Amino acid sequence: MDIKHIAIFASGSGSNARKILEHFEERNDVEVAIIITNRKNAGVLSHASEFDIPSLRIDKSYFYNNDCILNVLKSEKIDLIVLAGFLWLIPAYLIAEYPDKIVNIHPALLPKYGGKGMYGHHVHEAVKANNESESGMTIHYVNEKFDDGGHIFQAKCIVSSLDSADDIAAKVLQLEHKHYAEVIDKVITTT
Ligand code: GAR
């Protein structure tokens, strides 16, 4: 059987990465081959070692000034790059090499609350400040702009006027945990 390989790029606590690792743990047709991070103490590194997945820490010059990372991705036979809380803009050489093979999750209903500087709590604070009655998350293909590629899936949650930005964050994260791995599964097994 042809095994499909995923690379996860993550820099935060890695809770979405963990859900993805759990989802594919028992599978023999899809495997998470490597976890890549730009932060030394990223929570995702402990998930990687717990699940026995190789990890790699990169810095900006490695990522932007040359294409060394391509050698890593090629040697791991990566079919799909999954961004799970990875905040650096993806360089053009990587997008050219993996067209429609890089997906991202964003904690808002894009095109609202996307773009440079819109990540994590900044998003939820803006949603709160604008008295939105709903928020949610978007899974999308990655292009050369922040949060701009074609949408694959969105899920919504209700926001009440009593919700704090932290409450909104918790609701959105719950949606992310519920859907991201399933959507990745569909993308990687049907394309
Ligand atoms: C997630 O909420 C994800 O949507 C967000 O970072 C968080 C990572 O959480 N990504 C962005 O804001 C990208 N613009 P995690 O480390 O617990 O998975």
**pLDDT for residue 79:** 97
Q: What is the pLDDT of residues 10-33, one digit of tens each?
A: 998 999 999 999 999 999 999 999
Domains of the chain are 4-105+138-151+175-189 (3.40.50.170)
d(CA 83, ligand 1 centre) in Å? 9
Helical axes 43-50 vs 15-24, angle rounded to 10°? 20
pLDDT at 128 > cutoff 90 = yes
Sheet of 102-106, strand order: 55-57, 30-37, 4-9, 80-83, 102-106, 134-141, 151-158
Closest-lying ligand 1 atom to the alpha carbon of residue 84: 18
Closest-lying ligand 1 atom to the alpha carbon of residue 119: 12
Q: What is the pLDDT of residues 108-126, one digit of tens each?
A: 999 999 999 999 999 999 9
Mean pLDDT of 159-169: 98
Q: What is the pLDDT of residues 66-89, one digit of tens each?
A: 778 999 999 999 999 999 999 999
Q: Is 128 in the pocket of ligand 1 (CB under 6 A)?
A: no
pLDDT at 174 > cutoff 90 = yes
